[in-house]
């Protein structure tokens, strides 16, 4: 497969993002580029009704248009279809996913490309995000910022929930906001018959997401590593409408529907290779049940219940929601596991047939 030429495509999809686009584009226009690397913005207007495309074009021209702004229109609603439209247009070696509320630090492109060029094993690369607000942050935000893809990205596998160390993240995943991607991942996935297990968010009605986590796992199935760098910074602006307690709670519990699908990838990458799909699925369900049982027996949970400390209680409810999803939709979840396992098997090279000697 021929490699794309050196350069970076920023993928910017928006639905009615007019109030946010000017600052996001200004941060892209300010990117440092001492090496003169080719770059572009692939802008997808996802059925906006607020003249987002026109505003983006005018703002970019006012900024001096330091790189091409390629504008596309996607009439089908949904972030996933809009992002796929952008991915199909990538023409450089690397891509960077930028939401319309992401404000990248000036050195983001330079550091990202330097790391990707220096370490060809990196397939996915990301860093920490800092939340910004139009007013004061809600008192509860710090405890829930991970739901909003903000703050330091944490090591959730080890259980310590400490900030990730620079380098390969192991079994952890990265947020999509600011995610840098080696672009040949996408055609390799397509050639392997990859089919996402997610339909993607559509407005505010369906907050279930997981495509970013899925891409991290899929890249590892291809043999790439996922890396974190504390040198990569962006500001993630929080719109007031996303800071209500109702939205927060919907966002928090929406990931419970994604967890069984992501477990299918974890099982393929790190589960028992000789185990059957039903056996591995039952094992994962057993681990989930054991985790809930241990947590509710701890004094910390009892204190949280007595003092109405919401976050520990919500964590347990989330764990129960994951178990409910796995039990009530066992057949569908089993299909997720089987689909990922079949994809993994298609990626493996077919063993060469043994040489047959003919005696005359």
pLDDT tens for 39-90 read 999 999 999 999 999 999 999 999 999 999 999 999 998 899 999 999 999 9
Q: Is the pLDDT of residue 173 over 80?
A: yes
Q: Pick from 99, 112, 120: which is nearest to 3 by CA?
A: 120
Q: How large is the average pLDDT for residues 306-314? A: 78
CA–CA gap between residue 194 and residue 197 (Å, rounded): 9
pLDDT at 159: 67
Q: Is the pLDDT of residue 297 over 50?
A: yes
CA–CA gap between residue 354 and residue 289 (Å, rounded): 46
pLDDT at 17: 95
Q: Is the pLDDT of residue 294 over 80?
A: no
Give the tens place of pLDDT for each residue, 68-80: 999 999 999 889 9
Q: Is the pLDDT of residue 11 over 50?
A: yes
Q: Pick from 169, 174, 199: which is nearest to 79 by CA?
A: 199
Question: Where exactly does CATH 3.90.550.10 map onto the chain?
Answer: 5-243
CA–CA gap between residue 313 and residue 328 (Å, rounded): 22
Extract the tokens encoding 250: 């919907």
Local structure of residue 137 (DSSP, 8 states) = P
pLDDT at 234: 98
Q: Is the pLDDT of residue 307 over 90?
A: no
| Confidence grade of residue 199 (pLDDT, cut at 50, 70, 90) | confident
Q: How are beta strands 234-238 and 225-228 bridged, if at all?
A: unpaired
Q: Is the pLDDT of residue 269 over 70?
A: yes
Q: How large is the average pLDDT for residues 147-173? A: 89
Q: Is the pLDDT of residue 99 over 50?
A: yes
Q: In what order do the strands lie in the sheet with 167-168?
A: 69-73, 39-45, 5-14, 92-97, 180-182, 122-126, 225-228, 167-168
Extract the tokens encoding 62: 């006012």
Give the tens place of pLDDT for each residue, 201-259: 665 556 677 999 999 999 999 999 999 999 999 999 999 999 999 999 999 999 899 99
- Sign of dihedral through CA atoms 341, 342, 343, 347? positive
Q: Is the pLDDT of residue 37 over 50?
A: yes
Would you give the end-to-end CA distance of the chain in angstroms? 43
**Helix, strand, or coil here: 326?**
helix
Q: How are beta strands 92-97 and 225-228 bridged, if at all?
A: unpaired
CATH of domain 5-243: 3.90.550.10
Q: How large is the average pLDDT for residues 313-338? A: 90
Nearest-5° Cα angle at 22, 146 to 59: 150
CB 112 within 8 A of CB 218: no
């Amino acid at each position: 497969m021929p490699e794309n030429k050196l350069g970076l495509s920023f993928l910017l999809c928006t639905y009615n993002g007019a109030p946010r686009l000017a600052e996001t584009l200004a941060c892209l226009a300010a990117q440092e580029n001492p090496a003169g690397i080719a770059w572009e913005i692939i802008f997808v207007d996802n059925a906006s009704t607020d003249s987002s495309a026109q505003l983006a074009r005018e703002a970019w021209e006012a900024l001096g248009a330091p790189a091409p702004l390629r504008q596309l229109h996607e009439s089908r609603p949904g972030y996933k279809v809009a992002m796929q439209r952008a991915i199909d247009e990538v023409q450089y070696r690397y891509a960077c996913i930028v939401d319309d509320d992401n404000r990248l630090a000036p050195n983001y492109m330079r550091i990202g490309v330097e790391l990707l060029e220096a370490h060809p094993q990196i397939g996915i690369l990301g860093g920490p995000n800092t939340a910004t607000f139009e007013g004061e942050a809600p008192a509860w935000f710090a405890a829930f910022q991970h739901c909003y893809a903000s703050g330091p990205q944490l090591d959730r596998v080890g259980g310590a929930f400490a900030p990730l160390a620079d380098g390969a993240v192991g079994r952890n995943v990265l947020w999509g906001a600011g995610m840098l991607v080696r672009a040949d991942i996408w055609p390799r996935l397509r050639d392997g018959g990859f089919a996402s297990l997610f339909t993607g968010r559509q407005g505010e009605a369906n907050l279930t997401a997981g495509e970013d986590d899925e891409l991290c796992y899929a890249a590892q199935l291809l043999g790439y590593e996922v890396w974190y760098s504390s040198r990569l910074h962006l500001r993630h602006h929080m719109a007031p409408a996303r800071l209500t307690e109702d939205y927060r709670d919907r966002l928090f519990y929406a990931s419970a529907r994604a967890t069984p699908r992501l477990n299918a990838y974890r099982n393929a990458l790190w589960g028992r290779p000789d185990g059957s799909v039903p056996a591995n699925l039952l094992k994962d369900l057993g681990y989930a049940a054991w985790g809930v049982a241990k947590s509710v027996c701890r004094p910390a949970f009892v204190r949280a219940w007595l003092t109405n400390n919401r976050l520990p209680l919500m964590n347990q409810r989330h764990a129960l929601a994951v178990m409910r999803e796995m039990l009530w939709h066992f057949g569908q979840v089993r299909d997720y596991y089987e689909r990922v396992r079949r994809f993994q098997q298609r990626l493996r090279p077919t063993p060469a047939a043994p040489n047959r000697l003919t005696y005359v």
